Structure 1
């Protein structure tokens, strides 16, 4: 049946006209409602187009040049300046996505409920493929927008939008500072270029067609993971973990009671290690997928039971997931003076996370020379460093002060006080008789967590640390910078999901107990798009990490020799 409508100016007018037509033609209500919904949707879409105009890359560049935080999500231009103070994940991850298509990062990190809220920050839309800018925090240069200037071909046509080239200085030169001598920069630049060239030979090319194909197939993979129910949490598995941890803690108390202090300390360290896995899951909202509930679970495990701060961990970890393994930006890679995981640390590198220079001091020169030998001994003291970092974070109030997470700081401070009450006073001071036994108990219980710190570093220390530019897809970057550990399913409880870090980086909110099933899907994806999937046994992975650290030590020795040679030539030249 044909329907004829006069031109109307609003959705309401269309509704009235359509209802009258339905009555006069005696259409069935279901048919009427269906057609009415179509009209409302068409009118709503038109209204949205008028409300959110198409913005060109030059216009968006101008907004960023004016200091605004602009992201592209699902073809929508999102301005998040007003949201940043309330963002539970901190401001740094957002800053690293300014000027970029952040669809993948936003989708895998946030619940569907949160994703629906993003529309309130939309100021426009784009058409066609978006070409990423380098964010300001990473050295991106942005030009102010002038209305009188033409946008030429970048005015939101079906073609690609964005800068024609990397909108920053040569990434190799970006790390240079006045404190680096010319010979130092020449050596570091040469090593960087060699590593980039080597990396490019092992991974798919960075052209738009190839990377767009990877993105498209990554989206299909994500849809398959959702359709197979892999986001559904296995609560029975967590019940078993709770029972296991309770048994371990009870065993610790038993040996403490009969004065087997070293044995008791071993069980306490194992108890802490096992609990960390659940705290990690909660920090990613991978248990209930509810921010408040998972945060409460994670903070309760971390603070009153473990003496740590989940808020501090999330502040660093969210940045780590956004800029994985980039020396200048990833805090999980910045361990001077103890470790230099990349030759770039052999110069004076500026950390965008800590907002300060990381100088390559004399102490660093000495320690880096032996870092392959010091790797395991240093990690024995890793838990003590976590205490320090947690208290700095809490006392300085570095976490969110507004929004849903405003109360987290106070909960964690109270929790840490409770921890030092039951552990420091109740166990160490009151239950162990001598100073020496107390010292041994503390050291053993903390050093036994060393394998956990090995697991933390194993996934990334030996992987690529090169910045291949803003055109690399999220999926390729995560797989290029992350290693998985092959282990039998029987030992999954020992690794706690950390053996699937590459899978986890692709889909951070997938519950840990579903990662092994997810791995099979990711393997097929990697074969389809031609991205190598790094998978090593635990021993092989450790060998690769130690070998990588030794290689940086070798590079440090070569650099030191070059510097001495140049200095000696200078002395001869000037007669000193």
Structure 2
């Protein structure tokens, strides 16, 4: 006992205030379970990218670490240990319950038991893809060709869900095969780089609904979910100012009317973002493999379209595929656009609270789970991103009770209700964009409140 006490006295300590000074590239420290780690050199090699580490730099990040890493990751931490402990380390009741729940899920094997959903999805996608190709290559009817285009949009939706799952946990038997699945589902079949998706998606999860840190809310000049964008916020993700100029003001003023048309052509922006990233001087993991996958997509897709008999059918085929796939883009925005927002970096000590505030679930019957890809349980997914989608419905009642215990919101709306909430949020910002003289009052209000 005396030896243990002496060892404890010999520990070196720093305060949270001192830790917070190590929060930038070139000097990046984090605390996990009260132990302080220097991840400065590791940040650029981090599989999840440097952005999540920078966003949480200089903080205790235990909850976020638990959310995104399997148990095997803990053994690698000693390499980065500075020898310091956090003197004022504290675990809130909410975090304690969250960590106990994560431990419970781990012990029950839920993170490892993925079910047969991947096999079913692959078979389903293969049948749909074969049907689409048959409709284009072997049938002559105009309606059949357009329906084939709509079918391709449904295929892209289902493929995106598989790509999303493979990005959060291994859906294949090994990391190497999982990477192959990512390139196949993302780059080859949808034309959207898995490297781009990881880059933005990890930042979104860490900084859920931060107006200046979450790229999934930064859609100027076309969309703005808050009047705070009217102050030319600086995007910490893109490292540029989000200009609320006359063009942006015009589009935002009518965004509740243009929302669905914009969603119908949203894929064009995703293709553009893919090219901008892969051709940039930014460090891109597996750049060559990503480019190869994109080249495959831009080979088979134009060839398929070219097999249609005339330009009218070709254009309508592409539009049909985009419009059906727009349902998925709408779903992604419904999960967050009408939820609470804030300005500033994410905080490591209120992980659970920020996820509940920034997410909205979509209520649907169990037989529709395949259509929403598990992401209708958006809060459950944000709290446990490594949890296979087959378990999300099972844990939903547990999460609901935990939210109730700690007086936190658990919002689950029908698809129609979620659309109404989102349109109301967009319309509120649109009206205020038209009368910019109202902005100072609105901005003062939003400085001390969030919307939802």
Q: TM-score, normalised by structure 1?
A: 0.71
1:523 matched to 2:400? The reply is yes
Q: Partners of 2:122 and 2:411 in 1: how far apart?
A: 32
Match of 1:88 in 2: 47
1:383 matched to 2:342? The reply is no
Contact persistence 2:147–2:320 (CA under 8 A): no
Instruction: Decide whether aligned partners of structure 1 residues 72 and 441 sit closer, same or farther in structure 2, where only a CA change above 3 A counts.
Output: same
Q: Partners of 1:279 and 1:500 in 2: how far apart?
A: 17
Q: Partners of 2:228 and 2:207 in 1: how far apart?
A: 16
Match of 2:297 in 1: 419
Matches within 5 A, 1:234-249: 234-249=114-129
* Cα offset, 1:557, TM superposition: 3.0
The number of residue pairs the alignment matches comes to 435
Matches within 5 A, 1:66-465: 68-130=27-89, 212-256=92-136, 257-259=138-140, 260-285=144-169, 287-288=171-172, 291-400=175-284, 406=285, 408-425=286-303, 427-429=304-306, 431-465=307-341
Q: Partners of 1:383 and 1:281 in 2: how far apart?
A: 20
Q: Partners of 2:379 and 2:185 in 1: how far apart?
A: 25
Q: Partner of 2:341: helix, strand, or coil? A: coil
Match of 1:543 in 2: 420
**Residues 196-220 of structure 1: CA distance to partner in whole angstroms, max 9, x if unpaired?**
xxxxxxxxxxxxxxx8111111111
Contact persistence 1:55–1:124 (CA under 8 A): no
Match of 1:200 in 2: none
Instruction: Decide whether aligned partners of structure 1 residues 252 and 57 sit closer, same or farther in structure 2, where only a CA change above 3 A counts.
Output: closer
* Cα offset, 1:72, TM superposition: 0.6
Q: Partners of 1:554 and 1:321 in 2: how far apart?
A: 30
* Cα offset, 1:278, TM superposition: 0.6
* Cα offset, 1:126, TM superposition: 2.2
Q: Which has the higher contact order (CA 8 A, sep 6+)?
A: 2
Match of 2:377 in 1: 500
* Cα offset, 1:300, TM superposition: 1.4
Contact persistence 1:225–1:518 (CA under 8 A): no
* Cα offset, 1:285, TM superposition: 1.5
Residue range with higher mean Cα deviation, 56-65 or 375-384 = 56-65
Q: Partners of 1:248 and 1:495 in 2: how far apart?
A: 17
Instruction: Decide whether aligned partners of structure 1 residues 476 and 560 sit closer, same or farther in structure 2, where only a CA change above 3 A counts.
Output: same
* Cα offset, 1:66, TM superposition: 10
Match of 1:53 in 2: 12
Q: Partners of 1:214 and 1:561 in 2: how far apart?
A: 38
Structure 1 stretches lacking a partner, 5+ long: 1-37, 131-159, 161-210, 401-405, 564-576
Q: Partners of 2:429 and 2:439 in 1: how far apart?
A: 15
Q: Partners of 1:90 and 1:101 in 2: how far apart?
A: 18
Q: Partner of 2:60: helix, strand, or coil? A: coil
| Aligned-CA RMSD value | 2.5
Contact persistence 1:90–1:399 (CA under 8 A): no
Contact persistence 1:221–1:521 (CA under 8 A): no
* Cα offset, 1:227, TM superposition: 2.6
**Residues 259-306 of structure 1: CA distance to partner in whole angstroms, max 9, x if unpaired?**
331121111111111111010001112535964443321221111111
Contact persistence 1:233–1:286 (CA under 8 A): no
Identify the match of residue 429 of structure 2 among 539, 546, 552.
552
Match of 2:447 in 1: none
* Cα offset, 1:114, TM superposition: 2.4
Q: Partners of 1:349 and 1:363 in 2: how far apart?
A: 16
Instruction: Decide whether aligned partners of structure 1 residues 90 and 63 sit closer, same or farther in structure 2, where only a CA change above 3 A counts.
Output: closer
Q: Partner of 2:377: helix, strand, or coil? A: helix
Q: Partner of 1:432: helix, strand, or coil? A: coil
Instruction: Decide whether aligned partners of structure 1 residues 123 and 514 sit closer, same or farther in structure 2, where only a CA change above 3 A counts.
Output: same
**Residues 505-535 of structure 1: CA distance to partner in whole angstroms, max 9, x if unpaired?**
0000000111101112111211221212011
Contact persistence 2:25–2:40 (CA under 8 A): no
Q: TM-score, normalised by structure 2?
A: 0.90
Q: Partners of 2:60 and 2:147 in 1: how far apart?
A: 52
Q: Partners of 1:437 and 1:70 in 2: how far apart?
A: 56
**Bigger Rg, which one:** 1
Q: Partners of 1:393 and 1:314 in 2: how far apart?
A: 12
Q: Partner of 2:13: helix, strand, or coil? A: coil
* Cα offset, 1:474, TM superposition: 0.3
Q: Partner of 1:295: helix, strand, or coil? A: helix
Q: Partner of 1:126: helix, strand, or coil? A: strand
Match of 1:202 in 2: none
Q: Partners of 1:299 and 1:225 in 2: how far apart?
A: 29
Q: Partners of 2:348 and 2:203 in 1: how far apart?
A: 19
